[in-house]
Amino acid sequence: MAMKRNLAVMCATTMALAACGGDDPVVLNTLDGKAPLVVAHRGASGYLPEETVEGYAMAIEQGADAIEPDVVSTKDGVLIARHDPNLVYSTDVASHPEFASRKRKMNVDGLVEEGWFAGDFTLAEIKTLGGISTDAERPQQFNGRYKIATIQEIVDMIKKSGRNIIMYPETKNPTFHRQTGLPLEDKLLALLSAAGWNTSTAPVFVQSFEPGSLKYMRGKGSTVRMVQLIDADDVDLKTGALTYAAPYDRPYDWAAAGDKRLFSAMVTPAGLAEIKTYADAIGPWKRYIVSTKGTTGADGKLVDANNDGKLNEADTTTTAPTTLVADAHKAGLLVHPYTFRNEKRRLPLDYKGDPKLEYKQFYALGVDGVFSDFADTALAARADYFREIGY
């Protein structure tokens, strides 16, 4: 077993994976030795407007192992799939004159936002809106055509598929929802219980950036698998170090309670041990595992390495992987990093414009799953990786 494990570890230190075969069977470097999951992040959001019925249907058709909806609440307490309580970011609400009077400002996790908020709309009204693509480089021709999915609709779609697909909901802005009188957790647990999925063996992971949300559900007796998400604001491309600025510096329930720790506290051995007391996995931003760093010119400025007139990750190279995957596994936690995407502006130079190379590096490092906007690419990369290591 040691020889097999060492092979997997050796493979994880290089991107030249083709030579990592051998006569002995390869043991994957994941926590449980199982294949890493491909989680369809907000549906097939690389192709269709995110968190719509059609987007989730495409993700299922692509063969994703898990389907990820963000959970927010309507005025009448129905749980829907939206990344933000503010509908202006991902729907065509601004083009609906009948709702013009509902535009307002709200404090969301310490920041004042202006727009239209899900908690001001009934489900029937929400269903008149259409989802829009949130990335200008992605297809725009479907904007407004597809409707927002409810969490119940996603459950029904998974059950109807006949496949053992995992549902991976996130309690979104749970403190905000509690403050506005529309708490999420009890409704989500009731929905999971009705589906027969509120158990430790159910095809479910429940995730949140706020530890309090997960701890609350544990306190209500739920044994469903839970995931602590770990964020940061950005990467300092001159150094490769992660940066922290509100609201991406710490969980908002920590901020509201005056806890000054940053998300970075969660990736220390003590932080991982604390997470293990209430969760089964971590969902870190992928830069906690592999960061990126640009080149600084004589003028002290970052070099536009690909000469496209823009400075982004495509002008950087990856830094040496951290020990986070191994540290989390040592603590008994699964590791599901986010978010993997195909756009070339998001791919450091090491990957040569090929998103599969990024997936393969993370698979070799032993991650237990990946969140992807392009589940089909993640699945293809996994299949290629398995062939290359002889799995």
The residues assigned a catalytic role are 41, 83
CB 229 within 8 A of CB 172: no
- Contacts of residues 8-15 at CB distance under 8 Å and 24 or more positions apart, as own/partner, are 8/364, 8/366, 8/389, 11/364, 11/389, 12/321, 12/364, 12/365, 12/366, 14/364, 15/350, 15/357, 15/360, 15/361, 15/364
- Compute, in degrees rounded to 10, the torsion defined by CA atoms 91, 337, 207, 379: 70
Tokens of 110: 């310490």
Instruction: Tell me how far apart the 2 most distant CA atoms of the chain are, in Å.
Output: 69
Query: DSSP per residue over 62-97, as a string?
Result: HT-SEEE-EEEE-TTS-EEE-S-SBGGGTBSGGG-G
d(CA 356, CA 146): 29
* Alpha carbon separation from 248 to 38, 111, 228 (Å, rounded): 25, 11, 14
